Amino acid sequence: MAKKNFGIPDKVLAELIARDTACVYCHKIMIYPYVAKNSKNSATIEHLNFDGPFHWSDGLQTEDIVICCGSCNSSRGAKTLPDWFRAQYCIERNINETSVAEPVKSYLQRQKKKK
């Protein structure tokens, strides 16, 4: 996994890794544990919600964490998902609201309800 695991308990992390074997965004099969030399294809922890909380001890929820590849993680950076979907990276790879994995879709639906 990435260098830090944000205090996520091993059991929760193992469940996420088992669920998200392919990147939730580009559906690439990822390398786990994290390989620095091949970070683009390695599994990384992705926070869906960039407003936080980011650390388990601060109330980070399982439903707000997914596993994505290093490429997608660094491409998204600090963008919101809708903003990132408009980026060239996503357009080229056909990454959008309807192509992403189920955990991301349900996150997006929860966000819409909040508004």
- Judge whether 21 and 29 are in contact, CB under 8 Å: yes
Q: Which amino acid is at 11?
A: K
**Exactly one of 8, 16, 25, 48 binds Zn ion (CB under 5 A); which one?**
25
State in angstroms the smallest separation of the CB of 89 from Zn ion.
10
Restricted to residues 53-92, the positions that interact with Zn ion (CB under 5 A) are 69, 72
Q: For residue 31, is it left (φ>0), alpha (ψ between -120 and 50) or beta?
A: beta
State in angstroms the smallest separation of the CB of 113 from Zn ion.
26
**Exactly one of 8, 26, 100, 101 binds Zn ion (CB under 5 A); which one?**
26
State in angstroms the smallest separation of the CB of 115 from Zn ion.
27
Find the length of the chain. 115
HSE of 34, CA atoms in CB hemisphere, 13 A: 15
Under the rule (CB under 5 A), what is the footprint of Zn ion? Answer: 23, 25-26, 69, 72
